[in-house]
Copies of this chain bind each other. A is one copy, B any other.
């Protein structure tokens, strides 16, 4: 079966993003190497516009729309990083963005999304159907839905992260390494896997999830899409998606090594190490891959490990919890 996203789509995305997305580096610290027992290279997508890789996919999806469609505007459902990515990408294209957010989303994220120029529509999780609200608005205004991961153009945009990893790993002489990716619905992981298949075929891409929310790891083992039983209740909020996507899973299944899972405490400790050794702010879900590199080293292969820090949108209270793990 033909997969939804191809390496050519990722290379097209890289051209669209050039000069608009940040080209993030690969960072390292001898202190992290020491803990991990191998060289650790960190891809800090927390430094991407809006503080997460989500900007890449959103910008690519917006850029690929024909101008009439784009002029009518876009819509997205998100309480988090995708919301901000779509809002800024739309603003940069001069397009209207409507973001449907739950009324109980963190006020800071609502404020940020509005400040980035989006129209935010709040709904009550208990009494209202967000899909119905979205469908009505889309019909009335002719808005185009930008999905968070199960969309070929979004996967392609996230995949540009993988092109950069492949290029920088080659320059550093890194060949025998796992590439650990913080994984929710699998958009970033599948995009990086496709990019590495083409440009760095000796690297092994592997998803990292929170324990208890390891739907992707279980799906990779069983060969079919598995769901999580819980849908909330973990600090790694950015990556507790209920199941892999219909478009992302076939790519993950064909290309990825076994999934890893980390606990909340390991995510907090990884945030603390990113603070101390890299001077980076990671959110809990964004620190999952680093946590696996540091604390699950027996489950990893190779003389080096490459990890994504996928986002840094964390509130001060949660960051304080991470810092407390240092003492």
Contact = CB atoms under 8 A, between A and B. Distances in A.
Contacts of A31: 112, 115
A51 interface: yes
Contact of A280 (B280, B320, B324): B280
Contact of A278 (B47, B272, B319): B47
A275 B319 contact: yes
A50 to B, nearest CB: 9
A239 interface: no
Copies of this protein, total: 2
A37 to B, nearest CB: 15
Interface in A95-116: 112, 115-116
Contacts of A292: none
A281 interface: yes
Interface string A257-284: 0000000000000001001001111100
A233 interface: no
A22 B280 CA distance: 15
Interface string A1-42: 000000000000000000000110101001100100000000
A217 B34 CA distance: 43
Contacts of A282: 279
Contacts of A116: 30
A327 B324 CA distance: 18
A275 B47 contact: no
B279 A30 contact: no
A59 to B, nearest CB: 15
Contacts of A323: 316, 319-320
A27 B25 CA distance: 13
Interface string A49-61: 0010000000000
Contacts of A47: 25, 27, 278-280
A162 interface: no
Contacts of A327: 316
Q: Which of A27, A115, A312, A316 has the most CB of B within 10 A?
A: A316
Nearest to A312: B279
A230 interface: no
Interface string A185-207: 00000000000000000000000
A46 interface: yes
A25 B44 CA distance: 13
A326 interface: yes
A282 B115 CA distance: 24
B51 A279 contact: yes
A165 to B, nearest CB: 17
Interface in A281-327: 281-282, 312, 316, 319-320, 323-324, 326-327
- Sort A-B residue pairs by CB-CB distance and give the 4 closest, nearest first: A279-B312, A316-B323, A279-B281, A46-B279
30 contacts: A22-B27, A23-B25, A25-B25, A25-B47, A30-B88, A30-B115, A30-B116, A31-B112, A31-B115, A34-B115, A44-B279, A46-B279, A47-B278, A47-B280, A51-B279, A272-B316, A275-B281, A275-B316, A275-B319, A279-B280, A279-B281, A280-B280, A280-B281, A281-B281, A316-B323, A316-B324, A316-B326, A316-B327, A320-B320, A320-B323
